[in-house]
Structure 1
Amino acid sequence: MTMNNPPPRFIPMKQFATSYPVLLIDNQAPIRELHNCVSERLNAVLQYINLMACTSLPDYAENDINTVANIARILLQDVRDVFGVIEQRGFEVPKVQ
């Protein structure tokens, strides 16, 4: 008999700077709160990238461009991780009792 174990409540976010998960997503948080989290990060990174797109590149050193790209990568990774939880929750099939 196969038993379906529910996923752990707190799902680690992807990280590259640590070998131990320090940021976690509560997969039982209300969908609205998860969406608010994703929306905030996505809007922030879009505004940031838009600002950088309107800036003259000769004004910045190569290190500055790497910093901009890294910030965008981190925020977009957060968005992707939380969207994964939203998708998992949104596509669950209700149990018939």
Structure 2
Amino acid sequence: MTTNQSSSRFTPLTPIATTHPILFIDRTAPLPELHACASERLHATLDYLTLMACMTLRDSSANDINTLTNIARIMVQDVADVFGVIEQRGLEEE
């Protein structure tokens, strides 16, 4: 596979902790698989945030809250990136 083929096939996830993309989405994956990936992450994030909303954070530190928030941010960013690929694929097929 050439570099040009690779760059058109794979879309990088938004880098959060790095200056260069490390994780990529296969743009040629079947749409149901891309949707399942995004759906799994979205539902896991919703379940996680529901759990956090029901907990008492009296014993937590500011660092704990920052960690919890960062986990949710990473998961939602992944979902947004996968949905971006799904949307682009939909526009290309029209």
Give TM class, smaller chain.
0.7 to 0.9
Q: Deviations over 1:2-51 (max 9, x none)?
A: xxxx9711011101211121100111100000001001100010000000
1:92 aligned partner: 92
Q: Percent identity?
A: 58
Cα distance in 2, alignment partners of residues 12 and 49 from structure 1? 26
The CA RMSD over aligned residues, in Å, is 1.5
Moved over 4 A (4+): none
- Give me the TM-score of the superposition, normalised by structure 1: 0.85
The runs of 5 or more residues in structure 1 that have no matched partner are 1-5
Please list, as runs of the form range in 1=range in 2, the aligned pairs for 1:11-22 lying within 5 A after superposition: 11-22=11-22
Q: Is 1:67 paired with 2:64?
A: no
1:58 aligned partner: 58
1:93, distance to aligned residue in structure 2 (A): 4.1
1:3 aligned partner: none
SS in 2 for 1:25: strand
The runs of 5 or more residues in structure 2 that have no matched partner are none
